[in-house]
């Protein structure tokens, strides 16, 4: 079951802006990769000292600093100082149970997204928080663990083809958000396949396991919905917003991500409707099976009760029972029994009980 | 089952604007028909070379270019270049799992619609994406496969009667949208008939097949709703929008399509309510049948259990059982048995169990 | 069952503005009555030639032209020409499956209403489309069939009492709309009585017939809701609208009709809630009866199975069964049997199963 | 059952503004009490002649005219004339099936409220319409019957303590509305107690009577909701409205009534949720009892069917059945039977069926 | 069960602003603690005489007066006088069944919050009303009982670290609200654990107790939702509001509390969905068990009824029954019986009934 909430309680009572990592520690050592580029120049290296940060800040090239792993608050604090981030931003980066949201600070925009990925062990969907801080020609991205969802973007940067290298940090932010949203479709497709499989099984053999699977998928949908639904408003306000950090050109691309988000939400809603329908079918198939069982019982009882009664009659010890003395009494008894049985079978067949 | 989503995953990770056709390939060879007209002049021919496009662009006549089949990205790219379309527009034309939407670019409007048609083999409703690009006196339309839904419009253009030849490309766009919406009513009527048939069957003989059919129709409704519902907003924003491409005259006609769309949505909602009501009736008819079966069982058991007991009594081997020796014991036994049976039948009839 | 939609498909593909009557032909010959009045003058006659129309248009008196029966498109076309109506208005007058709506054209307002009346044969509620065209001192009204719903208004006009003769065509339009809305309450009262009757029956004897009746009434409610709900917005926009055709004085009266419409909608919603509650009661009464049946079966089986077993025991043929030889064995057997039976009856009575 | 609607049909067809009392006649003779006060002066008397009205209108003191009983249209008409009320206001005062609403006329505000009280005979909740007409220093209030809900306000006026005597007619209107809303809480508390009682009964012994009681309370909630819900908007628009009749000081007090109304609505919603939960519990308790019944039947059948079979076996008449001749056959038979029975009882106990 | 409403009825009829404590008396003696601080200075003492209040009001330091226990109206009245509070504010402080709300008075803001805590005896969630009055450099807080929820804030004030001592009374108000909202997560986590436990039990052994527990938790959710939901709007209007009492700096922190409130609401909704799913599973598991019981019954009956019949046949007393005389008749009978039984067992195993 996707946990509906993470342990926030350890933060209760602490002053705001206290940097405590809320969430599981998903990797051993944080890793910071720095990419610096413009149309002609490209540089990629591991982040060494915090002084680099102050140098890069001044350069007109686009700088992308990607932090994988959040459990070392010290590095974050230094980064925050260098780029002048509000303490609440750093706190939110570390509290990995944020909803997707957009916060417009003076000089930079803070965006929270949710990446979805299937847990390796039990195939449950889990969410990873991705934070983006978009400055004039700087983009900071924070991930809970080393992921490959941004690799295609890195590849495009390295190759230098396409628009990416020519445009600013806002387009880079768009590219990252786009890859996160594209990833939703992969997750949804996989769930769609599981729903379809489940449906076939449901028709073939409705067991309690299927009921629990339906319930489980319903919850996955609730979980995914919570991760995707607020994104709609985030992108919409980015696209319509008056922030000067987003160029007109990028806004058109954001409209595209917006459409994809709506499509993802649409798909989630459709899956929820489908799962509700499957629940109805499951419940009525349980009733139908009860009906079938009861019919068998009724048929058996209706056939054998009269027969047993008849056998009982001729087992009585009355002195004067003429039939008992008849030569053909016994065969005649069988004749009656078999006719009665056959007649009832025909009758039940007619009533479609068999 | 209408697939809730198409395979988008193959696009994940590609840069935006990459032209990859998402959707099934619904015909073998794309076909491009060019119609050029004004009030006095009419020309219809197959599109040959891309140079024609540049010539037509300059002419004051209305030019309608209709593309059937989307799997050859090359032609689209050239068309896009000629008319200065944004790469995202071309991408959306090819990704046939868009929701109906309207995008206002500088100089042209991009509209996505969904055509519904029954699949020939299994009578499932399927959707075809129709993209319209409306420019000053140009209309581009993209269909997934050769359809006959635009034929009446072509016929009206050829005949030259009516308003169509006298008005601009915006009225042509309206005419195409109108024929798509009119087509919804044909689909809905057909589904309405299936629902009515199903209803009669449901009263006559509620089987599991009917349950699955109800569920299936509910999904068709969800599917159609997804295709029609967003159209409402598309047309509404076209009609109220401040784009100079739509003349005042056409706006009045758009209000008419808007009304039809609302009516279609209304009908879909009514069908959904009807199907929900049918599900209720199905479920309660299953319960009723269980009741009926149990009544039969109870009647049989209630009649034969006491009788069998009595027969058992007179099959006992006690030495001193005066009844066994009576002359009329056996006939009297039958008398008691039959009276008891008749009495019970009357009793159950009175309780309306039979 | 109220048909959820009329056959629109025959219109698909026709150019907009084509005058085809959609709907059943509800009377044999259209009838046009012309009423012309002001405070001092009153004239009522059958409409003869289209020339009259041009004369009346110029006069400062209020002219009310009422058309009963829509299947003769020719007359409509002429009327439309005389008063300068848009072709789409005429088309909508003829397509009798419009939703209630208001369209503001230059110089006149077009209003669509739904009259509800019970079908004479099967008591189903049917809807008749009423179209009003309100001009400066002209009111055109179109009905599908000769109805008596406007008669009280005509009576008030003839008598000359009250405000009606003193005020303009907008007040006349209000008066007609008011009588349509008042009529909803008559229909709703009748349905309310049917619901109450059904409820009593449901408590007394819940049969499948009642289930179907509940379902049927639910659908009638959906049908009526579709006819009444959009009227709310129509009247609201009339009342708040900036059209100069509606005087300040009439607006106050429109607020009154608006209130009535809300009340009608409220009543419909209440009826729907009541019907849902009745469905719940029906379903649970089915379960209760099953419970009752099963209890009878269980009581019978629990009493007679042990008794039959005992009788079986003393029917065994073991050589050494001392009881069989006892003098009072048989009476004692009966004693045991009867005690056991009585004990169980008391037990079940205590458990409230009997 | 609270009647969902009153008989409006007798008004259908009458011109608007016709004064017909709709609703039951709840008292024998209308009674009009006139209270005239300012900070220093207080006068209370029965209203005698209509001339008084014209005198009072001119005086700067606050005048409160309270009318109990609405079935004498004549008096109302004269009052209306004196204070210049619109005929529709008088009509609405008499039609006691209005929804709570606020209408802003020039010079006065017309407010409709619903008083709830339990019917003495059957404890059903009924609604009484209270109309307020608020003028510059005049307040007219109309009640269907003599009620004591305004008595505390009268008492405060007489005693002259508190703000009431110092402030204008708008504060008096607030005070009356406040006492109506306070009264809702008394009704809701009483219903809350009935729900709690019902709940205890439901756990102890779920009978059909309880189901009907739940359904009945659900309807009471719908009924009360209809009376209270629109009040929210009424008070909200009074409080925010730009009418000069409401002073700034009174607005703060209106915000207080507004909060109470929201609280009442909240409570209604909570009760509805609770009643829905109780319905679920009722239905599942019916299923549970069926389960219990079936278990008893199955246990009885499973124990006695094999035993009866065994007894049947040794009742057979085969010539060569060695067991029948054994010396300890019969006691051994009983041993087997009892062991079998005990074993099964233990088995069922383990399966928790007993 | 959390009481859906407190006894308000004792207030009905009293004039507004009457100070009557509504709610349980939760402690014996009210306790008033006064904290006065700025960046350099800190003072904490018990409140002695009302004169102190007038002194503090004039000082530029931030003054926080915390009142625990509300049942002594006299002290409140004096405080209200000193700070110029509206009588309605004092009334609302005492009526502890307010919804969370924000009221903007001239010169100060009045905020109502709900603290949630588990009742010690029965683990039910209860709510305590917390009222805040925020003035220029004054904060009054009113609690129903001595709570430790504000202790961490007091600790931070005493230690003098962090922002708290440097900023104004608005930041202090934020800090208190933040600790209330943080506390919701502790409550929700605890409920989440109970839901998870319940879920495991539900799978293992679905008893009626679980049904009641699910219903109970659903109500707790309704109760909590009522306490948390309106807070969203309160904080949102604080943050966006134009009140000069809230500085720009504090607004950013309020956005953070707002996010947390939304998260809490999200979690509540998820829990409600989970509980609904659990109800579905419970109901279907009841049906499944019925199915299982019926299968056992049917299997037993189907096996033993034919066997008993056969035994009955050979217990008949016909004179001419050749089988009875056969040497191997009896063993052969057993052979038939056992084969039949085994065959049926195999058959039922195949049908997966066993």
The answer to whether the CB atoms of A267 and B4 lie below 8 A apart is yes
B277 and C218 within 8 Å at the Cβ level: the answer is yes
Residue C292 CA neighbour count, 13 Å, CB half: 11
What is the pLDDT, as a whole number, of residue B1? 40
pLDDT band at B58 (very low <50, low <70, confident <90, very high): confident
Q: Which of chain E's residues have a Cβ under 8 Å away from the Cβ of A208?
A: 284-285, 288
Q: pLDDT higher for D50 or A209?
A: A209
Region B245-267: mean pLDDT is 91
DSSP label at C95?
Answer: B
D62-68 and D138-143 strand pairing: parallel
Q: Cα distance from E233 to chain A (closest Cα, Å)?
A: 17
Q: Which residues in chain D are closer than 8 Å to E300, comparing Cβ atoms?
A: 298, 301-302, 305
For residue E122, the SS3 value is coil
Q: Which of D132, D124, D128 is nearest to D23 (CA)?
A: D128
CB contact under 8 A, D308 and E308: yes
Q: How confident is the model at residue D181 (pLDDT cuts 50, 70, 90)?
A: very high
pLDDT digits (tens, 9 = 90+) for A158-198: 988 778 888 999 999 999 999 999 999 999 999 999 999 99
Which candidate from E294, E308, E315 shows the least CB-CB separation from D317? Answer: E315
Q: Do D277 and E327 touch (CB under 8 A)?
A: no
* Segment B169-193 mean pLDDT: 92
> For residue D345, what are its two tokens?
């009882």
Would you call E25 exposed, middle or buried from its count of C-beta atoms within 10 A (0-12, 13-18, 19+)? exposed
Residue of A nearest to E157 (CA): A15
Range scoring the smallest mean pLDDT among C166-180, E7-21, E34-48: E7-21
Q: How far is A310 from chain E (nearest CA, A)?
A: 9
Query: Which of A188, A312, A319 has its CB closest to that of B311?
Result: A312
Question: Are C100 and B267 spatial neighbours (Cβ–Cβ below 8 Å)?
Answer: no
Residues of A in contact with B305 (CB under 8 A): 305
Q: Is the ipTM beyond the 0.85 threshold?
A: no
- Please name which of A9, B117, E211, E87 lies closest in space to residue C12, comparing C-alpha atoms: B117
Find the closest chain A residue to E176 by CA distance: A13
Structure tokens at A223: 């979980």
CA atoms within 13 A on the CB side of A32: 19
Mutate to test the interface with A, among B9, B302, B354 (most CBs of A within 10 A): B9
Q: Is B204 helix (H, G, I), strand (E, B) or coil?
A: helix
Helix (H), strand (E) at residue D190: helix D169-204
Q: What is the pLDDT of residues A249-259, one digit of tens each?
A: 899 899 999 99
Instruction: Give the model's pLDDT for residue A224.
Output: 93
CA distance D329 to chain C (A): 7
pTM beyond 0.90: no
Question: What b/e string do you get for A249-264 counting C-beta neighbours within 10 Å, with b at 16 or more?
Answer: ebebbbbbbbbbbbbb
pLDDT of residue D18 exceeding 90: no
- The residue among E20, E297, E317, E333 with the most chain D CBs within 10 A of its CB, best to mutate, is E297
Q: Tell me, what's the pLDDT at A243?
A: 83
Nearest to A286 among E192, E255, E288 (CB): E288
Q: What is the pLDDT of residue C195?
A: 93
Question: Band of the pLDDT at C2, cuts 50, 70, 90?
Answer: very low
Q: Which of B329-333's residues contact partners 24+ apart within 8 Å by CB, and which partners?
A: B329/A318, B329/A319, B329/A320, B330/A316, B330/A318, B330/A320, B330/A321, B333/A316, B333/A318
DSSP string, C198-242: HHHHHHH---HHHHHHHHHHHHHHHHHHHHHHHHHHHHHHHHH--
> Which residue in B7, B86, B97 is closest to A252 by CB distance?
B86
Q: Which residues of B touch A319 (CB under 8 A)?
A: 324-326, 329
Q: Residue E201: enclosing H or E segment and its boundaries?
A: helix E169-204
Minimal CA separation from D184 to chain C, in Å: 20
3-class SS letters over chain A: CCCCCCCCHHHCCCCCCCCCCECCCCCCCCEEEEEEECCCCEEEEECCCHHHHHHHHHCCCEEEEEEECCCCHHHHHHHHHHHCCCHHHHHHHHECCCCCEEEEECCEEEEEEEEEEECCCCCCEEEEEEEEEEECCEEEEEECCCCCCCHHHHHHHHHCCCCCCCCCHHHHHHHHHHHHHHHHHHHHHHHHHHHHHHHHHHHHCCCHHHHHHHHHHHHHHHHHHHHHHHHHHHHHHHHHCCCCCCCHHHHHHHHHHHHHHHHHHHHHHHHHHHHHHHHHHHHHHHHHHHHHHHHHHHHHHHHHHHHHHHHHHCCCCCCCCHHHHCCCHHHHHHHHHHHHHHHHHHHHHHCCCC
Q: Which residue of D has its CA nearest to C316?
A: D315
> Residue B297: left if φ>0, alpha if ψ -120 to 50, beta else—which one?
alpha
pLDDT at residue A146, rounded to an integer: 78
Query: What is the distance in angstroms between the Cα of D178 and the nearest Cα belonging to chain E?
Result: 8
State the average pLDDT over residues C86-109.
Answer: 89
| Mean pLDDT in order along chain A per 10 residues (354 residues) | 53 71 69 89 84 82 89 81 90 88 91 88 85 92 85 88 87 93 92 92 86 91 92 91 86 92 93 91 87 88 89 86 84 90 90 78
DSSP secondary-structure letter at B336?
Answer: H
Selection from E232, E276, E285, E286 nearest residue E257 by Cα: E232
Cβ contact B317–C312 (<8 Å): no
Spatial contact of B245 and B170, defined as CB atoms under 8 Å apart: yes
Partners of B286 on chain A (C-beta within 8 Å) are 284, 287-288, 291
Q: What is the predicted pLDDT for the residue at D47?
A: 80
pLDDT digits (tens, 9 = 90+) for B108-159: 999 999 999 887 777 788 899 999 999 988 999 999 887 778 988 998 899 8
| pLDDT tens-digit map of C281-292 | 898 888 888 888
Q: Which residues of E touch D185 (CB under 8 A)?
A: 5, 8-9, 12
The reply to whether residue C280 touches residue D215, judged by beta carbons under 8 angstroms, is: yes
The C-alpha atoms of residue C150 and residue B174 are separated, in whole angstroms, by 38
Identify the residue among C1, C3, C4 best suited for mutation to test binding to B, counting B beta carbons within 10 A and taking the highest.
C4
Task: Give tens-digit pLDDT for E304-315.
Answer: 888 999 889 888
Q: What is the reported pLDDT for E46?
A: 86
Question: How many beta-carbon pairs under 8 angstroms link C with D?
Answer: 160
Q: Which chains touch D (3 or more CB pairs under 8 A)?
A: C, E
* Among the partner residues E281, E287, E312, nearest to A215 by beta-carbon distance: E281
Calpha distance B49→C261 (Å, rounded): 61
B277 vs A contacts (CB less than 8 Å): none
Four-CA torsion C149, C153, C158, C163, nearest 10 degrees: 170
- Nearest residue of D to residue C292 by CA position? D290
Q: Which residues of E touch D151 (CB under 8 A)?
A: 13
* pLDDT given for residue D7 in this prediction: 56
Q: Is B17 in contact with B91 (CB distance < 8 Å)?
A: yes
**Cβ <8 Å between E293 and D295:** yes
Q: How many CB atoms are closer than 10 A to CB C312?
A: 31
Among C252, C301, C353, select the one facing D300 at the smallest CB separation: C301
Contacts for A44-52: CB closer than 8 Å, 24+ residues apart: A44/A154, A44/A158, A50/A78, A50/A79, A50/A82
Nearest Cα of chain D lies from the Cα of E287 at a distance, in angstroms, of: 8
For an interface test with D, give the residue of C165, C185, C204 to mutate (most D CBs within 10 A): C185
Q: What is the token pair recorded at A64?
A: 């992308």
Percent of chain C's residues with pLDDT above 90: 34
Chains with ≥3 CB–CB distances under 8 Å to B: A, C
Shortest CA gap C203–chain D (Å): 9
- Torsion from C-alpha of A49, A55, A59, A63, nearest 10 degrees: 20
Residue E10, pLDDT score:
62
> Which chain B residues are Cβ-neighbours of C95 within 8 angstroms?
none
């Amino acid at each position: 079951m996707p946990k509906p909430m993470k342990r926030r309680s350890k933060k209760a009572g602490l002053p705001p802006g206290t940097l405590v990592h809320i969430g599981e520690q998903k990797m051993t050592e944080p890793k910071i990769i720095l990419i610096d580029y413009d149309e002609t120049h490209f540089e990629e290296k591991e982040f060494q000292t915090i002084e680099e940060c102050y140098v890069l800040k001044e350069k007109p090239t686009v700088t992308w600093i990607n932090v994988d792993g959040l459990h070392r608050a010290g590095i974050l604090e230094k980064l925050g100082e260098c780029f002048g981030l509000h303490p609440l931003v750093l706190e939110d980066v570390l509290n990995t149970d944020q909803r997707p949201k957009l916060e417009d600070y003076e000089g930079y925009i803070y965006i929270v997204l949710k990446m979805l990925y299937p847990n390796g062990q039990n195939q449950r969907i889990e969410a990873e928080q991705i934070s983006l801080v978009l400055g004039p020609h700087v983009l900071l991205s924070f991930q809970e663990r080393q992921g490959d969802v941004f690799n295609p973007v890195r590849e495009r940067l390295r190759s230098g083809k396409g628009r990416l290298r020519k445009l600013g940090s806002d387009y880079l932010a768009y590219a990252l958000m786009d890859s996160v949203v594209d990833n939703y479709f992969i997750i949804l497709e996989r769930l769609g396949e599981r729903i379809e499989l489940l449906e076939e099984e449901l028709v073939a053999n409705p067991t309690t396991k299927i009921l629990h699977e339906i319930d489980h998928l319903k919850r996955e949908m609730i979980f995914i919905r919570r991760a995707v639904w607020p994104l709609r408003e985030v992108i919409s306000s980015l696209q319509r917003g008056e922030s000067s950090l987003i160029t007109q050109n990028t806004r058109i691309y954001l409209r595209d991500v917006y459409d994809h988000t709506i499509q993802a939400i649409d798909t989630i809603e459709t899956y929820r409707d489908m799962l509700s329908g499957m629940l109805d079918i499951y419940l009525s198939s349980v009733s139908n099976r009860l009906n079938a069982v009861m019919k068998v019982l009724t048929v058996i009882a209706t056939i054998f009760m009269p027969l047993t009664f008849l056998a009982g009659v001729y087992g009585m010890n009355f002195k004067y029972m003429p039939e008992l003395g008849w030569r053909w009494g016994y065969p005649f008894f069988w004749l009656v029994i078999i006719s009665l049985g056959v007649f009832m079978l025909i009758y039940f067949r007619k009533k479609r009980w068999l």
